[in-house]
Structure 1
Amino acid sequence: MAILGAESSGKSTLAAALAERLDTVWVPEYLREFVEKEGRVPVAADQFLIASTQVAREREAAGRAKRVLVCDTTPLMTVLYSRHYFDGEDVQLAALAAATRYDLTLVTAPDTPWVADGLQRESEAVRQQVYQLLLGELAARQIPHHILHGTLAQRMAQAMPLIERAIANA
């Protein structure tokens, strides 16, 4: 399952909590590691590397997952940020995003406090813009999704029935 959302919307917190509740593994967002390791924000030429590393880590973690693999972001978010910051995505990134599928897509609404973290997060205004871009892209690609609102506990309560249903239908 994929957890998508704009910056500072609680994706990582939710992913970790869901993995713990489901007694499974989760794949953290590689972008965060990239920024910490490189000490800079990514440039256009880094986007495919970031997305492909994310997918490679998902494939590796799938063998350790129990019933469900929780993925904190997908190549689709890399596409959106590439469009936002670099006026488009390259062919490889677009193809990767189109080829990567998830059985369940959860979207974290930007209704939690925005928190700056130095290099990676820009502003509340950008968070809202990216959220709207995400909703538009999910609609354009006809990707079914569920928007989760509120506190972590509220999001967990909204997510668990959706996850159980997806597991039962798999």
Structure 2
Amino acid sequence: MLRVALTGPESTGKTTLSRLLAEHYHTVWAPEYAREYLEARGPRYVLADLEEIARGQLQAEAAAEQAARRLGRPVVFCDTDLLVIKVWAEHAFGYCPNWILRHIEHHHYHLVLLLNVDLPWEPDPLREHPQHRQYFYHLYQQELRNQVANFAEISGTPGQRLDAACFHVDTLLGSKPLTPFPS
């Protein structure tokens, strides 16, 4: 099972691109658990909430992988990853729990798509830092370099982003065409 994560600052189109990639490759995707969690509990959070969000994200990814396996699909997409939790925790609290750091160190994706901040900011009650998107983008970029992760930076219009992402996923898959879900 090839695992592809989409990461980066807020309001960069991760959810939209995750959904479009899953549709394009006839597979499933793991939605961002933080949105579900914060919509249910409100936008205020403490470090313990971020840990719960991290656990929920891992569960969502595991469920998506199982669903993709049942469907016989070779790839699954993850809308965000624990790197988002690390950056978020360190920015908000100056600290990231060790278990999350260990998980990031040992739980790699076959490909990470780092989404650039060149799309317009879309206001949302759960988003916090419109003025710091470039700062956060550089943090993600440096973290991925430090991890020696297989990552690609994705920029441009939504259509250009999908094309670029598909190019990198096709390369990962060895350009094997995927058939649609059986009817």
* Cα distance, 1:11 vs structure 2: 0.4
Gap regions ≥5 residues in structure 2 = 176-183
Question: 2:6 touches 2:112 (CA, 8 Å); kept in 1?
Answer: yes
Aligned to 1:136: 142
Judge conservation of contact 2:113–2:151 (CA < 8 Å) in 1.
yes
Q: Which residue number in structure 2 is paired with residue 95 of structure 1?
A: 102
Q: TM-score normalised to the size of structure 1? A: 0.94
- Match in the other structure for 1:161: 167
Equivalent position SS for 1:113? coil
> Which of structures 1 and 2 has the bigger CA Rg?
2
Counterpart in the other structure of 1:21: 24
Asked if the contact 2:11–2:122 (Cα under 8 Å) also holds between the matched residues in 1, the reply is yes
Identity %: 34
Q: Which runs of 5+ in 1 are unaligned?
A: none
What does 1:26-45 align with in structure 2 at a 5 Å threshold?
Answer: 26-45=29-48
Contact map agreement 1:4 1:73 (CA 8 A) in 2: yes
**SS, match of residue 116 in structure 1:** coil
Amino acid at match of 1:134: Y
Name the TM-score, length of structure 2 as normaliser: 0.87
Which residue matches 1:82?
89
Q: Which amino acid aligns with 1:59?
A: A
Runs of 4+ deviating beyond 4 Å: none
Aligned residues: CA RMSD = 1.5
Deviation at 1:92, TM superposition (A): 1.7
Q: Distance in 2 between matches of 1:22 and 1:15?
A: 11
- The residue matched to 1:64 in structure 2 has which SS? helix
String of CA shifts for 1:84-116, please: whole Å, max 9, x gaps.
Answer: 111010112212222221111111100000112
